[in-house]
Amino acid sequence: MSKEQNLESEILKSAEELFLENGFSGTSTTDIAKRVGCNQALVHYYFRTKENLFLQVFNSKVETILTTLQKPLLQQNAEFNDKLRNAIGAYFDFLTENSRLPFFVINELLCNRERLKLAYNYFMQNTSRSKVFETIDNVVQTEVGKGTIRPIKTVDFVLDIVSLTVFNFIIMPIYKAVSDSTESEKAEFINSRKEDIITLVINGIKC
């Protein structure tokens, strides 16, 4: 990786950290430059605006989520239910490592329709990112055609998994506040919820 590519990557990484910590409005390009240790002008040189930085950070997360779901679904010689179990498990693991992400999405996108529209259009204009969704769509609709699962739109399939899973991480701060559970008990709680969601999704798409 060249020096320029490395700096661009560092700017994106620092922007992601600050957006997740402080939100869009609470983060400035000056803050990002300070964390990187570079001149503010370089942030503008590579990304032009804070909005562009935000879109790249958000869409990289969306791409990671879709890729996380996609990879297990493409496993060869595995039953669809086993693929689905692995996909949901991988998504739970991803959110465990990115626990601030659900709040970030709610605060920055669901409460800002214009930014949500921009993020959606930005995502769909990127061929590699939209291709990931197309791959998931092919897998799901193949199973529908085989009669393995009931007819369902792929976007609904993905949203069911995402929403059912994300909710557990949204309520996690409440769970922590009202319980004196240990870290191992919290991990057990998440694992229990994961198994419940897997069961709900599998039963929900049965013919």
Domains in the chain, start-ordered, CATH in brackets?
1-48 (1.10.10.60), 54-204 (1.10.357.10)
> Which class for 164: exposed (0-12), middle (13-18), buried (19 or more C-beta within 10 A)?
middle
Residue numbers of the chain with a pLDDT score lower than 50:
none
Of 4, 79, 86, nearest in space to 38 by CA: 4
pLDDT of residue 61: 82
- Give the Cα separation of 51 and 189 in Å (integer): 37
Q: Global pTM? A: 0.77
> What is d(CA 11, CA 26) in angstroms, rounded to the nearest whole number?
17
**Residue-level pLDDT at 118:** 74
Non-local CB neighbours of 140 within 8 Å, separated by 6+ positions: 73, 149, 152, 154, 157
